[in-house]
Amino acid sequence: MLTSSCNSKCNSCSYWLCEAKHLPMEKISLIANELSKSDIKSIRLTGGEPTSHPHFIEIAKILKSRQNAKIILNTHGHNLIEIFPKIKNYIDGYIISLDGSTRETYKSIRGVDWFDEIVRIPKEIHLFSERIFVGYTCVIQNKNLHELTEILNIGKNSGADMMSFTLPTFSEGVFNNDSGRILKQQRGLWITSEQDVNFKIQLEALKSSRLQNGNNFILQSDGVLDNYFEILKTWREGKAHTLPDHKCHVPKSSVVFSENEQIKPCFMLKAAWALKPDNNLNSENILIFRENFYKAPTPTECKSCYVYPHVMENDI
Ligand code: SF4
């Protein structure tokens, strides 16, 4: 998490309301050094909007030069084509938010009028290299529920390599300020019981689209899409705690460095410790957390996390 700064105004996020804080360059060098001694497979640059970090291009260069991991950028995509020539040699893949199939829906969810620009990105990047991965991600909510298949078609026709559909985030750890207000805001995005039938129809249509688009174009399997429906209903009824215990692999294989110079076991969870001069990837805190996490019942935070429907399908 390079920065809390963002110039989009998404209804599913609070970062654009926070005071901007950027992870300082000396801390980034420290992390880069530690990563260079590890065999970590991929580094995901997130925020806020990571490209808003004042030294973003330099950061991408430093990380790419220190080790062999794939560097993936999560971005809103605004101005990406402009900066692409400067980062093309450092970033291996792009995950771009696409929450509507029209300018109107996109703007009503993201608060900015960038739709036309966003849908040009995959083809522009692939003109440079077909090998650079470009995927879109869409947060399903009551404002775009009716057009999930159109969003999928826009993604396909734009030349993207993958389309991911997630649920809104209800895990407090993601929001570093005013989590009570944010949770209320997030509940405003939930699909209502009146929309359940349409939601089912849209999920079925996504599943059937695999015949035309290939099995892997939608990241989520049929089982995960089915779980979305059941889990969202459980959240809506305030019964997340009744969902079964299934343990997520994320804390086992990842560490998150946040813009406020802390580390935590996953993007969604609150537990966080101060960044140290070394051994953050396998620090004592992280090891103790992992041990307890896999021994104890699944925390309710996990059951309110959009990764959980995947965990339900792939129990470990
Ligand atoms: S289920 Fe979500 S909150 Fe829990 S460990 Fe996995 S990613 Fe983190």
How many CB atoms are closer than 10 A to CB 43? 20
Q: Is residue 10 part of a domain?
A: no
Nearest CA among 252, 238, 262 for reference residue 307: 252
Report whether pLDDT(101) > 90.
yes
What values do phi and psi take at 264, rounded to 5? -145, 165
Report whether pLDDT(177) > 60.
no
Instruction: Write the pLDDT tens digit of every residue in 188-226.
Output: 788 889 999 999 999 999 999 998 888 789 999 999 999
Model pLDDT, residue 169? 74
Name the residue of 266, 294, 300 to mutate for ligand 1: max ligand atoms within 8 A of Cβ.
266
For atom 3 of ligand 1, which residue has the closest CA?
Answer: 302
Report the alpha-carbon distance of residue 132 to residue 153 in Å, rounded.
20
In this structure, of 50-64, 102-116, 286-300, the range with the lowest mean pLDDT score is 286-300
Q: Is 250 in the pocket of ligand 1 (CB under 6 A)?
A: yes
Instruction: Write the pLDDT tens digit of every residue in 136-159.
Output: 999 999 999 999 999 999 999 999
162 burial type by CB count under 10 A (0-12 exposed, 13-18 middle, 19+ buried)? middle
102 alpha carbon – ligand 1 mean position (Å): 32
Number of domains in the chain: 1
Nearest CA among 90, 24, 4, 37 for reference residue 280: 37
Q: Is 240 in the pocket of ligand 1 (CB under 6 A)?
A: no
Instruction: Write the pLDDT tens digit of every residue in 15-30.
Output: 887 788 999 999 999 9
Q: Is 1 in the pocket of ligand 1 (CB under 6 A)?
A: no
246 alpha carbon – ligand 1 mean position (Å): 10
Name the residue of 166, 169, 171, 314 to mutate for ligand 1: max ligand atoms within 8 A of Cβ.
171
Q: Is residue 9 part of a domain?
A: no
Instruction: Write the pLDDT tens digit of every residue in 211-269.
Output: 888 878 999 999 999 999 999 889 888 898 899 998 899 999 899 999 989 999 998 88
Q: Is residue 3 part of a domain?
A: no
Q: Which helix (H) or strand (E) holds 14?
A: none
- Over residues 152-177, the mean pLDDT reads 85
Q: Is 49 in the pocket of ligand 1 (CB under 6 A)?
A: no
Q: Is 35 in the pocket of ligand 1 (CB under 6 A)?
A: no
DSSP, collapsed to helix, strand or coil, labels residue 71 as: strand
Q: Is residue 254 part of a domain?
A: yes
Q: Is 301 in the pocket of ligand 1 (CB under 6 A)?
A: yes
How many CB atoms are closer than 10 A to CB 176? 20
CATH number of the domain within which 88 lies:
3.20.20
Q: Is residue 55 part of a domain?
A: yes
Q: Is residue 8 part of a domain?
A: no
Ligand 1: which atom is nearest the Cα of residue 269? 3
Q: Is residue 230 part of a domain?
A: yes
Domain assignment of residue 45, given as a range: 15-313
Q: Is 31 in the pocket of ligand 1 (CB under 6 A)?
A: no
Q: Is 248 in the pocket of ligand 1 (CB under 6 A)?
A: yes
For atom 1 of ligand 1, which residue has the closest CA?
Answer: 302
